[in-house]
Amino acid sequence: MKKPASLLFLLTAVICMFSGCSKAQEKPQDKKEAVVDKNILIVYLSRTKNTKAVAEIIHKNVGGLLVELELQNPYPEDYKMIVSQVANENETGFLPPLKTKINDMEKYDVIFVGFPTWGMQLPPPMKSFLKKNNLERKTIVPFNTNAGYGIGSTFQTVKELCPTSKILEGFSTKGGMERDGILFVMKGEKEKQVELEVQNWLKKIGFIN
């Protein structure tokens, strides 16, 4: 009597093992389908076009709607003047009104938000976007370009302005240095390097295989 019981136990274990493997194989497919089903919006602010270039790389890999933030009253072209104006806006909490309007915001599940680092802070126009729109329960994915000084408080501010959103790991890369007259740098080998970095990041956060 013991032998049939042992055979039954062994058979059950083998069935469970193969069943477990089958489920494990299904998981990546389920994840891929879940991402494909998402409605994606990519919103970016770009003065020297470096953040724009990163936004376009993301768009090429994940699709969705690509939108550049524009102001009702554009910033001055002079670098020192814009630095002074932005510093004042940060100090006073002023949110510049946006010319850009996005219809049907509620239909987007995932919103990539891209911006440069200005004065080690999140640019006021991006603050305007995050504050003026209802992003409750949406997935927010920040990406950044900077002059080599890093993200500053930008990613932290995104979290603070989107307390009811899910914030994924962000991406950052060195762009131009406008202060030194070095503007658009996302070309040639630099563009190829950043494209690879973006793809690796998108894989890490589950948007591409």
Q: Please tell me the CATH code under which domain 37-204 is placed.
A: 3.40.50.360
Please give the average per-residue pLDDT across 177-197, as a whole number: 90
**Tens of pLDDT, residues 109-145:** 999 999 999 999 999 999 999 999 999 999 999 999 9
Residue type, 45: L
| Confidence band, pLDDT 50/70/90 cuts, at residue 155 | very high
**Tens of pLDDT, residues 87-98:** 999 999 999 999
Residues paired with residue 118 on neighbouring β-strands, in sequence order? 121
| Confidence band, pLDDT 50/70/90 cuts, at residue 37 | low
How many Cα atoms occupy the beta-carbon half-sphere of 81 within 13 Å?
5
Distance in Å from the first CA to the final CA of the chain: 51
Looking at every residue in the chain, the average pLDDT score rounds to: 86
Question: What is the reported pTM?
Answer: 0.82
